Structure 1
């Protein structure tokens, strides 16, 4: 059954791959990005019709509220929500600037809280599914990524707690925790050296993470779970 799918961070990386896969499955997609032009261009590139690209900075409550008002007015009730918007400001904690720490926490953790709250108002009457995008370092930790790891670990706790809160309303909440995926966020990494740490020996493709997202969105008896898509990296950390 076709649903309205809302994808934050949907113009690039994993979010873009999720948007493409959802559209291929026949769902109407609303994708959001801080870059309005990128959001609109991605929406226009998706198969199918009536997809919509909007601008939204998830770290700003008024932006998120305005986005859901627009979605409700123009598109109807939300069936799927995917939170793929995220940033990193990697540094040792002693070298981390306070403004960078706040920016990471507000985008990666608070942003998903705000978007989930906005989507729930639409989902309560008819059910739905939410997938948050975490990280393997949120599960295992990593030197030089204290703040990023904390934001993603917090997202795991938030996901499990929210899953308990809304299960009786037929709303499922899960988390995909990727490892090294070929996106802008990993572009600066030395890939040959990093790949040697991965049991499968390579970085993942955004489409491979998107397949895990789709699986959790469409699985009616799974909630409150964390699915690692990391090529076995957790085993090596």
Structure 2
């Protein structure tokens, strides 16, 4: 049965691979991105988020089957905060009502194994409080403090997103409405966003020292697309609030017996 999917970040990387896979399988995909997409919006702004709802509603006729909140940035800037957390959460919350007409509604967000790295607590607190001005201000302070401090921005946004998913998935708005809400946490995937880490043998060796991936190493976005497709398929009826690490083993190496 053909389903209607909304995929943010659809113009490149994981989003593009997922859109292509779903289309190949006969589904309708409404791609969202800042360029080269059916719905062109900037998820770092309130105006862009409002335009997302308007555009997807118009394109879908008011009913969708799945949300894949995949859009993200990896820059050490306040804009990464705006897109990775507030853009993703807004995508899920604004589009959730459009799932009500589906017989098998599904939603998933793209976090990262970088969520395992030490977070900046002040930024994390602002994110989880939903305080975007405070979060953007703190990100600006981290940038001003230098490269090492600013380097915490990306992982902190992804940790906050994973925690938001865990907190909200079992609630009346999601589980109570029959919507499985989950996240994925990819390791190093070969995309335009990671080209600085995967563009040479030396760079790949260096990133694998930070992100151990004993199972098959760095991989292609299509491999992530298969997981996203299953999580948003009719077959996945009972996963709730899970953050699925597709990371070649990074989580198992880094956290070991500390979680189970």
The normalised TM-score by structure 2 is 0.76
Match among 225, 228, 241 for residue 224 of structure 1: 241
Aligned to 1:187: 195
What is the CA–CA distance in structure 2 between the aligned matches of 1:75 and 1:121, rounded to whole Å? 13
**2:175 pairs with 1:160:** no
Any unmatched runs of 5+ in structure 2? Answer: 120-147, 198-202, 255-260
Any unmatched runs of 5+ in structure 1? Answer: 40-52, 91-99
**2:131 pairs with 1:134:** no
Match among 38, 44, 50 for residue 65 of structure 1: 50
After TM superposition, list the pairs within 5 Å mapping 1:68-147 onto structure 2.
Answer: 68-76=53-61, 77-90=63-76, 100=77, 102-126=78-102, 128-141=105-118, 145-147=151-153
- Secondary structure at the residue paired with 1:78? coil
After alignment, is 66-75 or 76-85 more displaced? 66-75
- Are the equivalent residues in 1 in contact too, given 2:39–2:56 (CA < 8 A)? no
Deviation at 1:11, TM superposition (A): 0.7
The number of equivalent residue pairs is 212
Aligned to 2:220: 205
* Cα separation, partners in 2 of 1:236 and 1:123, compared to 1, 3 Å: same
- Secondary structure at the residue paired with 1:187? helix
Deviation at 1:71, TM superposition (A): 2.2
Over the aligned positions, Cα root-mean-square deviation in angstroms equals 1.8
Match among 156, 176, 185 for residue 184 of structure 2: 176
1:54-110, Cα deviation, whole Å (9 max, x unpaired): 2111111222222222222232211111111111224xxxxxxxxx2x211111000
After alignment, is 215-224 or 66-75 more displaced? 66-75
Deviation at 1:184, TM superposition (A): 1.4
What is the CA–CA distance in structure 2 between the aligned matches of 1:211 and 1:235, rounded to whole Å? 21
The normalised TM-score by structure 1 is 0.83
